[in-house]
Chains A and B, each alone.
Chain A
Amino acid sequence: MAATGRLLYHNFHILHRLSRWTRDRFSATGLLILSCIIAAGIFGIDTRASLAYQIFSISFSLLLISFLSSLLFRARLTCKRHLPEYGTVFLPVRYSVTIENSDNKRHIDLLYTDILESKFPSFKEFKTAHDPADKNRNWFDRKIGYPKLMSMLQRNRGASISWSAVDEIPAQDEKGFTIEFIPTRRGYLRFTHSRVARPDPFGLFLSFKSQKNPEKLLILPKTYRVPHVNLMGHRKYQQGDLNQASLVGDSQEFMSLRDYQPGDPLRSIHWRSYAKRGDPIVKEFKDEFFVRHGLVLDTFIEDHTPSQFEEAVSLAASFSLSIEDQDSLLDLLFIGNETHHFTTGRGFGKSSNLLEILACVTPSPEPDFHNLTNLIEKNLSEFSGLILILLDWDEKRQEMVKRFTSIKVPVIVFVIMESPVNLDPGPLSNHPERFIPLITDNIQDALDSINWAGI
């Protein structure tokens, strides 16, 4: 059975390359003529039974001449693309391209596209992958798996950039135009080549001029509207200097004066006292206390679907954006290939930094709750509360949550599910409003219906 699967996989690989080459190289009319060749070839296999072989001959000769004449394409063109800083998944991304014509003749009826790096999934990835679109496919497609493979390939590529028509580039001149595409996944899109195509005299076959033009564009995860979450916990002492605390909480509350110690910032020097005493005296402020939340992202995908994980990432991104204008800190914690802990908020990185991190987060195939729990517990003393975004509500996850609730840490749990299931809040039974199951297809509506004030 495995051998059959592997054979199918290799055939799919060949089929995909063939199909890709065909789609790239033939114009729409060229594909029609190619279809004529195939159909006439089938019906004309017996030259006595029909005249389809004559159609085959005509179509074949036209494509052959097209192909041969396409080999004569010569052009000195330089392509420059101007990408934006970020894009967001499923939102149109626009960028401009300039083609410079160094030839002494004009070029007309050209086509342009950008090639994105597209890693073909390995057999293991193909076999273990779960495609959410499978539920909409028929039995045969699900069983054979070719649409799933194509879907994986499309996801790896991240977007489909279609051909853009370039009507004319005058001699020794340049032409600019805009390309728009819709990214289908978060993370980096890697542009590898710029490609200019020219149809042959019959307009059936395209000849290429490819130019290496590597660039990458970060696609951020999609986000939802969420309010700032205040878990009504205690403000915690945030160890740090003025740089971190100068505008937060009670940071301006003066406490006393003391002698200067090496390392004290110059801005803390009390100049009047310094003038009186002749020795530097610095101002001492009250220690900082303010809200700091831990945002825990469950990356242990196990047998859950990629769409669950994507929604979890989107929710985490939404919370990271919600602190933008708030006097608080947010720590993102998750386990990827290693443990990750990033802080954002006053004096730290911007929420956009967190988005960049979330854009590139990948699921962890092996569940490691022990490490995740340790990571959270290590920083628990600094957190006012925890926001956990989980992919399931099984015993291991409930156990983890129980450890935090038992030491009175305010916890809010979001469980991302593929389909609605009645779940017991378990360790959160005292605060059932802080246990929020979300269905992947309906997250925004569910978030809008939450009474955040009551949390």
Chain B
Amino acid sequence: MDNKFLNLPPAPPFTIAAALLLWGWQTGYLVFAIPMILLIETSYWVRWRWPLSHKEFNLISDFSGIGFFIVVVFIFSTVGSRGIFVILSVMPFILLLLLLVQLYSEQGKVNLSSLFVSLRKLDPKITPEAASKVDISLTYLAICIISASAGNNRTIWFYILSFCLFSIILWHFRPRRFSIFVWAGLLSLALVTSYATQEGLRDIQRNMEASIIGMFDQFMWRYRDPDRATTAIGSIRRLKRSDRIVVRVNSEQSLNTPLYLREASYDHYNYGIWNNETPIYSVIDQGLDGSWSLSPGKSKGTINITSYMPREIGVIPVPHGVNRIKDIAALEINTNQYGAVRMEIREGWINFNADFNDKMFTSPPGENDLEVPSAYRNNFDRLAKELDLYSNTPEESLTRITRFFTENFTYTLDQRRRYPPGKFLQNFLFNTRTGHCEYFATSTVLLLRTLGIPARYAVGYVVDEYSDMEGSYVARSRDAHSWALAYVNDKWHLVETTPSVWASYEESNASLFEPFTDIYFWLSYRYALFQAQDELDQEETNYNLLYLLIPLIMILVWRLFFKKRNNRKKTTNIIKTIRRQQGIDSVFYILIDEFKLAGYARRDGETLACWMKRINEKGDYPELEEALQLHYRYRFDPASNNNQIHKDLSRLVKSVMDRGITPVSAQPINA
């Protein structure tokens, strides 16, 4: 019986055309969609029909099936696993022939057994499905809508148009017993529900991803994909990273400035994901001395890096200027054009020496390095105009952008507000002005690209903590960081726009059990090294090391409980004793202490520049801005003349102190 509720009815007129237009618009196949629409819609006007036998239907169905198989194999072999969405997007092409055959055949329907080979040999008397026929036009329409979604063209119009198409179908096949008002009311309810559902689904994914990444980060070793990085931009939650020590660095010279170890860099951004669309890996030949030369040129220094390989092949953290890897028995080392160094070696802890120089190891910029996704273009253009960046030289732009972010933005790991897709960066730039390093680095890259300066997004670790226990610099999982690379004056530059408080902010979130976990990490690291050694040379097993662990543990426990442990998160005085860092004796700290005593509280995540700006809101301390600049130079610029800076800074600080600081009770802070 041909009842619209029992058998699939044919698609309402022009709905397939509408679905194909939606598909063409979303996937970029509009040129193909139009002739397809003509072919399909003509069938409703032309009376000519083709007499097709059951066997011919079977043949055409088989042909479509084989075509689908070939397309799947081809796409997977060229695009890889991400090809699933390419396959989805070409489904209307693959099924078009079958639909046309149905529309132009005398039967007007397709035998179910033509679609399912398993039904062909069955007796229709016993299995009635074997003889039944179906109209595939409505199914084709649904496939067009789902295929359109593969275009991932994120505008609200896709949702609206899809809903409209569904509504037209439902309107066409609605039962007569209900009034139009009831139907329309329920449809409106469905509209609201579906909108809320899709919003909720996006949030659920973000939160789940974040939780899973957090769990992995906490309990398992993280694997860095050199071709794709999923950021937490848009996540509604508090980011949490573990205290696990993941990188150890030994250097002959003390680190005066934080050391940036890069793992990968990316050139293409879209909705929270950075990736490289066409990474090309080239194998590095091992030299006769056993070293792996990545780029020509003399080395300026060498650092020893220890990191963990969660798999046999993985990315290793290296300085930006790395030009040689040595003292490691790797099976193979290859690099991509974006400077990621991938090593094939056994799993576990690895230790190697990396020579480096001033020249950043990465390819010259390409077209992708200037690409700003259309969804963000207007926002960054607006920002560039607001900051009057178009009239600046690239060097000036870099300075102004860095100042803009460090002075006007605050660092936070907490994101609680919800925005429409693609609006997170807009809100970060213009409204909230608060976020974590991925927001800063991504925004910097896109802003630089808007100005025509090639830029890339880099990820890795910032090594800034010295562990007395380990006798080396260490980077924890929470020290994972992202920053921007800008190509100015024929040279790549590291651009750090994340407020400098990020490291201390991360530290303030450290676990109470960090001292204990540090011992555990160190012991497990030593044991892993011991095991690795044991495997390499079983005959010469050094069992003494195990016995040595016992007194060592005792010493550590003593240090933990009876002696203040060296840690920079303690007071400034303790920092001074631990770190051998430049500029730690800056007189500006005296001024900071005085302001604190006077009751000027510094907010969580507030940069020094923002804080000073707030203190000097009424212009009571005009020296502050210059003093802060001098302090930064004294503190972080290794090339500066420290004596002169110290003199000038002391003069300015003295001037403020002499004039006196008004206590906060007399001058309330704007909350």
Cβ-based interface call for A151 (8 A): yes
Stretch in contact with the other chain, from B100-108, B178-186, B662-670: B178-186
Are B198 and A57 interface neighbours, CB within 8 A?
yes
Q: Out of A28, A31, A59, A201, name the residue touching B4 (CB < 8 Å).
A: A28
Which A residues are CB-close (under 8 A) to B202?
Answer: 47, 53
Cβ-based interface call for A136 (8 A): yes
Within B18-46, the residues touching A (CB, 8 Å) are 26
Are B178 and A27 interface neighbours, CB within 8 A?
no
Q: Please give the distance in Å from A20's CB to the nearest CB on chain B.
A: 14
Are A54 and B149 interface neighbours, CB within 8 A?
yes
Cβ-based interface call for B139 (8 A): yes
Cβ-based interface call for B313 (8 A): no
Stretch in contact with the other chain, from A60-68, A254-262, A326-334: A60-68
Are A59 and B166 interface neighbours, CB within 8 A?
yes
Are A60 and B194 interface neighbours, CB within 8 A?
yes
Q: Please give the distance in Å from A165's CB to the nearest CB on chain B.
A: 4
Q: A29-B8, A54-B162, A182-B125 are in contact. Are A46 and B149 (CB under 8 A)?
A: no
Q: How far is the CA of A17 from the CA of B433 in the complex (A)?
A: 55
Q: How far is the CA of A198 from the CA of B176 in the complex (A)?
A: 11
Are A27 and B6 interface neighbours, CB within 8 A?
yes
Q: How many residues of A contact B (CB 8 A)?
A: 60
Stretch in contact with the other chain, from A103-111, A266-274, A390-398: A103-111
Q: Please give the distance in Å from B92's CB to the nearest CB on chain A.
A: 14
Q: How far is the CA of A31 from the CA of B139 in the complex (A)?
A: 10
From A50, A160, A184, residue with most partner B Cβ within 10 Å: A50
Q: How many residues of B contact A (CB 8 A)?
A: 65
Q: In the complex, which residue of chain A has the Cβ closest to the Cβ of B155?
A: A51
Q: Please give the distance in Å from B62's CB to the nearest CB on chain A.
A: 15
Are B198 and A32 interface neighbours, CB within 8 A?
no
Cβ-based interface call for A36 (8 A): yes
Within A150-165, the residues touching B (CB, 8 Å) are 151, 154, 160, 162-165
Q: A32-B8, A43-B84, A51-B151 are in contact. Are A58 and B163 (CB under 8 A)?
A: yes
Within B137-168, the residues touching A (CB, 8 Å) are 138-139, 142, 145-146, 148-154, 158-159, 162-163, 166
Q: A109-B176, A162-B1 are in contact. Are A65 and B193 (CB under 8 A)?
A: yes
Within B118-145, the residues touching A (CB, 8 Å) are 118, 121-123, 125-128, 138-139, 142, 145
Which A residues are CB-close (under 8 A) to B125?
Answer: 90, 182, 184
Q: Out of B88, B176, B205, B272, name the residue touching A50 (CB < 8 Å).
A: B88
Cβ-based interface call for B93 (8 A): no
From A54, A65, A111, A160, residue with most partner B Cβ within 10 Å: A54
Contact with B along A263-282 (1 / 0, CB 8 A): 00000000000000000000
Cβ-based interface call for B9 (8 A): yes
Q: Out of B8, B126, B173, B182, name the residue touching A184 (CB < 8 Å).
A: B126
Q: How far is the CA of A60 from the CA of B190 in the complex (A)?
A: 9
Within A93-126, the residues touching B (CB, 8 Å) are 107-109, 111
Q: A28-B5, A43-B85, A47-B201 are in contact. Are A69 and B126 (CB under 8 A)?
A: no
Contact with A along B190-226 (1 / 0, CB 8 A): 1101110110011001000000000000000000000
Cβ-based interface call for B7 (8 A): yes
Cβ-based interface call for B525 (8 A): no
Cβ-based interface call for B175 (8 A): yes
Are B149 and A163 interface neighbours, CB within 8 A?
no
Cβ-based interface call for B545 (8 A): no
From A27, A40, A111, A184, residue with most partner B Cβ within 10 Å: A27
Contact with B along A18-39 (1 / 0, CB 8 A): 0000000001110111011001
Cβ-based interface call for A450 (8 A): no
Cβ-based interface call for A249 (8 A): no
Q: In the complex, which residue of chain A has the Cβ closest to the Cβ of B198?
A: A57
Contact with A along B269-313 (1 / 0, CB 8 A): 001110000000000000000000000000000000000000000
Q: In the complex, which residue of chain A has the Cβ closest to the Cβ of B165?
A: A58
Are B205 and A47 interface neighbours, CB within 8 A?
yes
From A58, A90, A151, A184, residue with most partner B Cβ within 10 Å: A58
Q: In the complex, which residue of chain A has the Cβ closest to the Cβ of B203?
A: A47
Are B177 and A61 interface neighbours, CB within 8 A?
no
Q: In the complex, which residue of chain A has the Cβ closest to the Cβ of B271?
A: A48
Cβ-based interface call for A49 (8 A): yes
Cβ-based interface call for A367 (8 A): no
Main secondary structure of the interface of B (DSSP, over half): helix
Cβ-based interface call for B60 (8 A): no
Q: In the complex, which residue of chain B has the Cβ closest to the Cβ of A69?
A: B186
Which B residues are CB-close (under 8 A) to A52?
Answer: 88, 146, 149-150
Q: A50-B150, A65-B190 are in contact. Are A165 and B182 (CB under 8 A)?
A: no
Which A residues are CB-close (under 8 A) to B54?
Answer: none
Are B205 and A46 interface neighbours, CB within 8 A?
yes
From B3, B117, B159, residue with most partner A Cβ within 10 Å: B3
Cβ-based interface call for B169 (8 A): yes
Q: Please give the distance in Å from B28's CB to the nearest CB on chain A.
A: 14
Cβ-based interface call for A359 (8 A): no
Q: Out of B142, B158, B175, B191, name the residue touching A54 (CB < 8 Å).
A: B158
From A27, A33, A55, residue with most partner B Cβ within 10 Å: A55
Cβ-based interface call for B170 (8 A): yes
Which B residues are CB-close (under 8 A) to A250?
Answer: none
Contact with B along A235-259 (1 / 0, CB 8 A): 0000000000000000000000000
Q: Please give the distance in Å from A185's CB to the nearest CB on chain B.
A: 10
Contact with B along A121-148 (1 / 0, CB 8 A): 0000000000001001110010000010
Q: Out of B8, B117, B271, name the residue touching A28 (CB < 8 Å).
A: B8
Q: How far is the CA of A51 from the CA of B1 in the complex (A)?
A: 37
Are A27 and B5 interface neighbours, CB within 8 A?
yes
Q: A47-B201, A50-B152 are in contact. Are A62 and B146 (CB under 8 A)?
A: no
Q: How far is the CA of A39 from the CA of B146 in the complex (A)?
A: 8
Q: In the complex, which residue of chain B has the Cβ closest to the Cβ of A29?
A: B173
Cβ-based interface call for A202 (8 A): yes
Q: How far is the CA of A57 from the CA of B170 in the complex (A)?
A: 16
Cβ-based interface call for A44 (8 A): yes
Q: Please give the distance in Å from A285's CB to the nearest CB on chain B.
A: 52
Q: A65-B186, A203-B4 are in contact. Are A55 and B197 (CB under 8 A)?
A: no
Q: Please give the distance in Å from A434's CB to the nearest CB on chain B.
A: 33
Cβ-based interface call for A199 (8 A): yes
From B84, B123, B198, residue with most partner A Cβ within 10 Å: B198
Cβ-based interface call for A56 (8 A): yes
Cβ-based interface call for A412 (8 A): no
Cβ-based interface call for B189 (8 A): yes
Q: Please give the distance in Å from A221's CB to the nearest CB on chain B.
A: 15
Cβ-based interface call for A401 (8 A): no
Cβ-based interface call for A321 (8 A): no
Which A residues are CB-close (under 8 A) to B183?
Answer: 201-202
Cβ-based interface call for A206 (8 A): yes
Which A residues are CB-close (under 8 A) to B272?
Answer: 48
Q: In the complex, which residue of chain B has the Cβ closest to the Cβ of A138?
A: B118
Cβ-based interface call for B174 (8 A): yes
Contact with A along B398-425 (1 / 0, CB 8 A): 0000000000000000000000000000
Which B residues are CB-close (under 8 A) to A46?
Answer: 205
Are A49 and B152 interface neighbours, CB within 8 A?
yes
Q: Please give the distance in Å from B144's CB to the nearest CB on chain A.
A: 11
Which A residues are CB-close (under 8 A) to B121?
Answer: 136-137
Are A109 and B138 interface neighbours, CB within 8 A?
no
Contact with B along A181-221 (1 / 0, CB 8 A): 01010000000000000111111101000000000000000
The 3 closest A-B pairs by CB, nearest first: A136-B121, A61-B194, A57-B198
| 4 more A-B residue pairs beyond the given contacts A108-B176, A109-B175, A137-B118, with a C-beta to C-beta distance below 8 A | A61-B197, A136-B121, A184-B126, A202-B174
- A interface vs B, CB < 8 Å? 27-29, 31-33, 35-36, 39-40, 43-44, 46-62, 64-65, 69, 90, 107-109, 111, 133, 136-138, 141, 147, 151, 154, 160, 162-165, 182, 184, 198-204, 206
Please list 16 pairs of residues, one from A and one from B, whose beta carbons are closer than 8 Å in the complex, sorted by A's number: A28-B8, A29-B4, A40-B149, A47-B201, A53-B198, A55-B149, A61-B190, A61-B194, A61-B197, A109-B176, A138-B117, A138-B118, A184-B125, A201-B175, A201-B178, A202-B170
